[in-house]
Structure 1
Amino acid sequence: MSYITRPKVTHPALARNDLGLTMRDYVGGMSTLCAGCGHDSITGALIQAAFELSIPPHGMAKLSGIGCSSKTPAYFASSSHGFNSVHGRMPSVSTGAAAVNGQLQYIGISGDGDSLSIGIGQFVHAMRRNLNMLYLIEDNGVYGLTKGQFSASADAGSTAKRGEVNEQPAIDPCLLAIASGCRFVARGFSGDRAQLVPLLKAGLSHRGFAMIDVISPCVTFNDHEGSTKSYRFTRENAYPIGHTDFIPPEVEIKAEIGVGEAHRVDLHGGESILLRKLAKEYDLSDRGAAYHYLSRRQGKGEVVTGLLFMQEGGADMHELSRLGETPLSTLQHERLCPGSNALAELQDRLR
């Protein structure tokens, strides 16, 4: 996490939203991620989306697990609520928080390792419960904090930092979400802010579980031939007692993709990724057709971006659990704890 705060200086000419706040009111600490990391581009898009939607920072709750992606909550909306949980357990923490206060805007930040390996069970059940939150997967195909091992989203046939070939098929989070009954499924690219910001705004406005998988190139583990989502650039320390990785500043990857078009994006290490933006005639309300379309395009080596599936209506977890309009966190002690007599009566009914 970052312990360096940004200066609270606001220019009088900065644009303000409906709350009278500027973009500066939605920033957080200074990023400690590698220069050029796609995750920082996602942070910038989140700041813009929250600003444009006029979400009060104190009404937001940011949650994460473990990994490079899980640092993101520290880098935006510093005056909002936040909780950094353990690896893969962010969905259950979010469930508990939403159960006691369903009035907050919940944003879960996760990674492909955090969500699709150790946390896949909790990820699926959060979708099944239709937990009211925006769930972002910052997807780079590697475990960046532990030197670039394959994650569950790594493509079969791709190579790792030391040349190992991944022989396992990838888990596609969008296909998994569609098959698990998620009502809002989308995929974006960290370098395409023109598409990503509207997707984030739609996900934040959706009632229920909204999952967005964001392809986010890793600048450290993506400099070797054969990798499809990440690269690395290593330099040995001049001291003979050890070595360290040197990560040079990189330029943020950007791409403008026309509606219905496929576009090959060159990554830092020389390899590329093929992105396709959905056509206007695409029917995002048909779950079966969405799954078939995504599978077919995946078989052609394309990564489809855009809003893949959305189904409005239906009760979310808060409504299904009949938790009421008043958040449990604001109830008086007398209502939460009616006393030993009430407990005795309950036990008598169950004898």
Structure 2
Amino acid sequence: MTYITKPKIDLPGQERNALGLLQRDYEGSLSTLCAGCGHDSITAALVQALWELAIPPEKLIKLSGIGCSSKTPAYFVRGAHGFNSVHGRMPSVAAGAHAGNRGLVCVGVSGDGDSLSIGFGQFGHALRRNLNMLYLIENNGVYGLTKGQFSASADPGSKAKRGEVNQMQSINPVTTAIAMGASFVGRSFSGDRTQLVSLIKAGIRHPGCALLDVISPCVTFNDHEGSTKSYAYTREHMHRAMEVGFVPPKTEITADYGDSETTRVTLHDGSTIVLTKTDPNYDTASRSSALRYLEQTRSREEIPTGLLFLDEDLPDMHAIARTAEKPLVDMDYEELNPGNEALQKLQRSMR
């Protein structure tokens, strides 16, 4: 695949972050995704969040699997490390990268097919290990690269572009993550830049696996009437659990509403979605309350967004494995290879 680098034009008066870098320094190649794809809005939010956090590009590692979503790492922070893995195996590569260099800021971008179908086991173990990374799922409910078949996140009763009705139950990444013991779980919408940037920044700073599910409509295969992952449906049904916007190829659609409010938004195709923000008094520390709240909003056909669960006391992968504080990449040969005597001692301890 050929990637075309965006032209970099330095204009006077542009704001710089704490590292002296421009927001353009956090951009990557030109996107080859469909015009109006929600994934590109997520890329823009990632660029803004990483720039505002002043993450040194050389300290960032971007990882992905296979799918439309997994092209995203090519589109932000051209100066970072990156790896596009086998389908569904991004979490394993992330675990290996972070095991070798715990000093890296790790951002894994996946999709509902990549993480909830072929990579479902990998998804679960990343949460179980509490791998220190932002695990971002660009969720559109279809397999965009293979022409729009239902994915595991497609809701029962939703219609495909050609009229087929999905009969299977969906896998909800946020309820699944909370039930499996995740330490940080949030949801947003690709069109809500303000909320999305805030959640990305919070997830990156979280000391553990931060799962962020982002509803990101597929403008080609899943933005029609009858889809529950369309721009219209999401805007009509979104409910801000705590604290949604999209820049289509036509006129920008935005949603401005307060905490605990519900808003109905009409999309370009005439369909609508309901978004709901969580109440300021919503208890993010109670796993059972979060699951109960998510079930209540699901029964009302609302899509809650915001920070849905947080536990900052769960140990991350390095604390669980009791690894060295010093990154392995910075250790010399003697530290990495303590010799035969140390190996013999370890073996005797296991008898």
User: TM-score, normalised on structure 1?
Assistant: 0.90
Alignment of 1:18-57 (within 5 A): 18-57=18-57
Secondary structure at 2:254's aligned position in 1? Answer: coil
* Deviation sequence 1:280-305 (CA, Å, 0-9, x none): 11111111111100111011111000
Cα 1:268–1:113 change in 2 (3 A) is farther
TM superposition shift of 1:224: 3.6
- Say what the alpha-carbon RMSD is for the aligned residues: 1.9
Count the aligned residue pairs.
335
Instruction: State how far apart, in whole Å, the 2-side matches of 1:179 and 1:300 are.
Output: 21
Alignment of 1:109-188 (within 5 A): 109-188=109-188
- Number of the residue aligned with 1:195: 195
Q: Percent identity?
A: 63
- Number of the residue aligned with 1:283: 283
- 1:2–1:31 CA contact under 8 A, matched in 2: no
Cα 1:350–1:203 change in 2 (3 A) is closer
- Number of the residue aligned with 2:304: 304
- Number of the residue aligned with 2:271: 271
* Deviation sequence 1:84-122 (CA, Å, 0-9, x none): 001111011101111111111000101111111111111
Instruction: State how far apart, in whole Å, the 1-side matches of 2:207 and 2:267 are.
Output: 35
The one-letter amino acid of 1:84's match is N
Instruction: State how far apart, in whole Å, the 2-side matches of 1:293 and 1:347 are.
Output: 50
Deviates more, 1:253-262 or 1:14-23: 253-262
Secondary structure at 1:25's aligned position in 2? Answer: helix
Instruction: State how far apart, in whole Å, the 1-side matches of 2:346 and 2:50 are.
Output: 45
Cα 1:2–1:39 change in 2 (3 A) is farther
- 2:183–2:314 CA contact under 8 A, matched in 1: no
Secondary structure at 1:181's aligned position in 2? Answer: coil
TM superposition shift of 1:183: 1.2
Instruction: State how far apart, in whole Å, the 1-side matches of 2:197 and 2:284 are.
Output: 19
- Number of the residue aligned with 1:325: 325
Is 1:16 paired with 2:7?
no
The one-letter amino acid of 2:271's match is E
TM superposition shift of 1:315: 1.6
- 1:222–1:268 CA contact under 8 A, matched in 2: no
* Deviation sequence 1:26-46 (CA, Å, 0-9, x none): 000100000111000000001
Instruction: State how far apart, in whole Å, the 2-side matches of 1:349 and 1:188 are.
Output: 49
* Deviation sequence 1:245-288 (CA, Å, 0-9, x none): xxx94555432232111112333433222111111111111111
Instruction: State how far apart, in whole Å, the 1-side matches of 2:115 and 2:122 are.
Output: 8
- 2:199–2:307 CA contact under 8 A, matched in 1: yes
Secondary structure at 1:14's aligned position in 2? Answer: coil
Cα 1:16–1:183 change in 2 (3 A) is same
TM superposition shift of 1:10: 1.8
TM superposition shift of 1:329: 1.7
TM superposition shift of 1:8: 2.7
For structure 1, the residue ranges without an aligned partner over 5 or more in a row are: 232-247
Instruction: State how far apart, in whole Å, the 1-side matches of 2:285 and 2:339 are.
Output: 49
TM superposition shift of 1:170: 1.1
- Number of the residue aligned with 1:215: 215
User: TM-score, normalised on structure 2?
Assistant: 0.90
- Number of the residue aligned with 2:242: none
Instruction: State how far apart, in whole Å, the 2-side matches of 1:261 and 1:299 are.
Output: 17
Instruction: State how far apart, in whole Å, the 2-side matches of 1:62 and 1:202 are.
Output: 17
Instruction: State how far apart, in whole Å, the 1-side matches of 2:2 and 2:265 are.
Output: 30
TM superposition shift of 1:333: 2.3
TM superposition shift of 1:350: 6.3
- 1:65–1:90 CA contact under 8 A, matched in 2: yes
Instruction: State how far apart, in whole Å, the 1-side matches of 2:38 and 2:153 are.
Output: 16
- Number of the residue aligned with 1:237: none
TM superposition shift of 1:339: 4.8
- Number of the residue aligned with 1:239: none
Instruction: State how far apart, in whole Å, the 2-side matches of 1:140 and 1:97 are.
Output: 28
- 2:142–2:151 CA contact under 8 A, matched in 1: yes
Alignment of 1:87-98 (within 5 A): 87-98=87-98
Instruction: State how far apart, in whole Å, the 1-side matches of 2:117 and 2:174 are.
Output: 15
- Number of the residue aligned with 1:243: none
Cα 1:173–1:223 change in 2 (3 A) is closer
Cα 1:112–1:156 change in 2 (3 A) is same
